[in-house]
Structure 1
Amino acid sequence: MNTLTTFRFMAENNAWSNHRLHRACAELTFDELTAERTSFFPSIYKTLTHVLLVDLYYLDAFERGGRGLSIFEDTEPFTDFAALRQAQRETDRRLIAFCEQLSGDSDREVQIQRENYVQVDRVGSVLLHLFVHQIHHRGQAHAMLAGTRVKPPQLDEFFMAAELPLREAELRELGLQVR
């Protein structure tokens, strides 16, 4: 498997994991989602919002959108979970599309607006950072979900061939290739 295929698979796995986690979280009331819990961000809702905002921040850099740090001006841009869930799904699709259009240029430079400077790094390095960031915070949300009445979903399977029957319906629902 080459690097570009790996990035595409990671983006698809990210979308699938977000789908599973958000579906479980949708079973909670808004009060349960926003209840104070122990983690880096003090609630499931704030953790999932952070994941989305960071995804948008890096996608903006990849796409040369020019929004930069302004993405973080509103730390709670949604008043309900359905809107957050839909925005995450759309953002996941954008990330998959970005990874699909990479054609050997994962070494190209990307400019990332920081508070006092512009960081220049390679697309591939930033993608790897973004995937680790997503996994890290999804894990926190998953752990917080374990303290609720809703059972956390399985998230650690990476599209293994033997598990296809366990995810096939979800892949179809997401419009992803069934493999």
Structure 2
Amino acid sequence: MCAHIVRMAEYNEWMNARLYEAAATLPEDEILADKGAFFGSLYGTLNHILLGDVIWLKRFATMADYPALDPVRAMPQPAGFDQRSGSFSELRALRASLDGIIRAWAGEIDEAELPRMLEHKSVAGLPFAREFGGSLMHFFNHQTHHRGQATTLLSQAGIDMGPTDLVMLVPNVAQA
């Protein structure tokens, strides 16, 4: 399972780099324009993914002393999932930094921690106790789900992301 977590962190970083590179080809006003998507704009969607990651990483930082999460511990707690994180270029830089943190943290996770309970509060303050491993799968699935929305917005703007499947990072060992 830990190898899968590391692969998901690598996939997250790979897809985000490609997604932001593609988005950067658009004018800033197009990135910010409300397109009727769930989070309004491409920026809103990318911002939501980032805020969700920070919120979940702050929760995960309570599970164990993960040194890779020290920078996240120092970040302010987002007030919600739609708080604005600055300009697109600032969001892009924060995303790249956070993806490096996620990749490093994935390598610190011990399989024995996965069945432990993660106690946390929702953004609305409701208490939860959930399995760490299941919460971690949600963390990666949440990113993938909303990146799908972002790639749709890019497609509507005429930008083809090309392959986006996780299998692109699974080594192909077939003999040619």
Scaled by the length of structure 2, the TM-score of the pair is: 0.82
One-letter amino acid of the counterpart of residue 101, structure 1: E
Cα pair 1:41 1:47 within 8 Å, conserved: yes
Q: Superposed, which structure 2 residues align to 1:45-60 within 5 Å?
A: 45-60=43-58
1:43 CA displacement: 0.5
Q: Deviations over 1:84-132 (max 9, x none)?
A: 1111111112222222111221122222221233212122111111111
Q: Closer, same or farther in 2 for the Cα pair 1:25/1:138, shift >3 Å?
A: same
Q: Superposed, which structure 2 residues align to 1:166-177 within 5 Å?
A: none
Aligned to 1:35: 33
One-letter amino acid of the counterpart of residue 133, structure 1: H
1:139 counterpart = 2:165: no
2:99 aligns with one of 92, 112, 115: 92
**DSSP-derived class of the 2:160 partner:** coil
Structure 1 stretches lacking a partner, 5+ long? 164-179
Aligned to 1:150: 159
Aligned to 1:168: none
1:106 counterpart = 2:114: yes
Structure 2 stretches lacking a partner, 5+ long? 63-72
Aligned to 1:172: none
Aligned to 1:121: 130
Distance 1:43 1:77 in 2: 14
Distance 1:8 1:33 in 2: 30
Q: Deviations over 1:21-41 (max 9, x none)?
A: 111001111101011113211
Q: Closer, same or farther in 2 for the Cα pair 1:31/1:6, shift >3 Å?
A: same
**DSSP-derived class of the 1:121 partner:** strand
1:48 CA displacement: 0.1
Identical counterparts, % of pairs: 30
One-letter amino acid of the counterpart of residue 25, structure 1: A
- What is the number of equivalent residue pairs in this alignment? 159
1:82 counterpart = 2:82: no
Structure 1: which 4+ aligned runs deviate by more than 3 Å?
A: 65-68
